[in-house]
Amino acid sequence: MITIHNLHFSYKKKKIFNGLSLSFSPGHIYGLLGKNGTGKSTLLKNIMGSLFPSQGSINVLGYQPGKRQPAFLQDAFIVPEEFYLPDVAIEKFVSCNAPFYPRFSRPQFNTYLQEFDIPLENSLQQMSYGQKKKVLISFALACNTSILLMDEPSNGLDIMSKSQFRKVIAGAIDDNKCVIISTHQVKDLENLIDRITIIDEGNILFDQTIDDISSKLSFRISFDDEETKKAFYKEESLKGNVIVAPNTYAEESKIDLELLYKAVVTNGNNVNTVFKNQP
């Protein structure tokens, strides 16, 4: 569905990607993780065709995004971190924009607004940033595009809204849709995504499915000094040392994305070795 090969991209003299290759398949919610400024937003914009690589290729749904063909744009949607919505009623926004998307569903849009507690009769400019983001997310999902890109979608949402967001996204995925969510707030994506890609300084540090992570890594509290020393990552807590370690005994443990991210960023080579060596 999305194939990126040997991608090179720079902002003037600042190199962002230097030969990046990556692919995304339908039926998945991908978590694109990394601190601010590591290239997450740049990657999404290249996929969407609003930025153009200096070298390499991007194929999305059989299209070259940079050509901005209407058939491609009708089947892809991006919810950017920074956005502008006009000073109009929600009804007016929908009537002006929905006709461009052939699979837009008004009943779905209304349902998502209800999930987010947004009154349909409101004007967009009367809303807070968080409320506007909920409207844009609702519209994006109701467009039913095959590709949905979301850049820091949980920014500006309160605790209850983040819970609503996870519920809405989980219910919207199907076998024909590919969702990529970029964020540095890793806790917001737990129990939602099924593949983790970690980017740092334009490089892919880690790219694994949730199932593989669960089977090959253990997230637990340890009181054993020797075990702690051998862990990929450790963090002191009141209950003992919280560690990320090889899942030697095939135990089930709840994945902690924040700990995983820290383990990969600080000790990525050793973490990745587990996935290379085990079947």
Does residue 260 sit in the same domain as residue 163?
no
Q: Mean pLDDT, to the nearest integer, of 161-171?
A: 88
Q: Mean pLDDT, to the nearest integer, of 217-230?
A: 90
Q: Across the chain, what does the average pLDDT equal?
A: 91
Q: Specify whether the CB–CB gap between 154 and 185 falls below 8 A.
A: yes
Assess whether pLDDT exceeds 60 at residue 147. yes
Q: Give residue 254's region: left, alpha or beta (phi > 0; psi -120 to 50).
A: beta
Q: What is the pTM of this model?
A: 0.91
Which of these three, 150, 173, 201, is where a domain ends?
Answer: 201
Q: Which two tokens stand for residue 115?
A: 């999930």
Residue 45 identity: K
Does residue 214 sit in the same domain as residue 145?
no
Nearest to 266 by CA among 243, 229, 233: 233
Does residue 191 sit in the same domain as residue 258?
no
Does residue 143 sit in the same domain as residue 90?
yes
Name the β-bridge partners of 84: none
What does the pLDDT look like over 16-54, one tens digit per residue? 999 999 999 999 999 999 887 788 999 999 999 999 999
Nearest to 156 by CA among 194, 185, 176: 185
**Looking at residue 234, what is its pLDDT?**
94
CA–CA dist 273, 233 (Å, integer): 14
**Residue with the larger pLDDT of the pair 111 and 122:** 111
Count the neighbouring beta carbons within 10 Å of the beta carbon of residue 218: 21
Domain count for the chain, please give it: 2
Contacts of 148 (CB under 8 A, 6+ apart): 76, 77, 78, 79, 140, 141, 177, 178, 179, 180
CA–CA dist 72, 67 (Å, integer): 9
Q: Mean pLDDT, to the nearest integer, of 165-173?
A: 87
Which of these three, 184, 201, 218, is where a domain ends?
Answer: 201
Does residue 128 sit in the same domain as residue 109?
yes
**Looking at residue 203, what is its pLDDT?**
85
Does residue 124 sit in the same domain as residue 50?
yes
Q: Which domain holds residue 214?
A: 210-277
φ, ψ of residue 248 to 5 degrees: the values are -60, -35
Q: Specify whether the CB–CB gap between 182 and 151 falls below 8 A.
A: yes
**Looking at residue 239, what is its pLDDT?**
77
Does residue 96 sit in the same domain as residue 129?
yes
**Looking at residue 277, what is its pLDDT?**
61
CA–CA dist 249, 20 (Å, integer): 35
Buried b / exposed e across 92-131, counting CB within 10 Å, b at 16+?
Answer: ebbeeebeebeebeeebbebbbeebebeeebebeebeeeb
Q: Quote the distance between the C-alpha of residue 152 and its chain's center.
A: 8
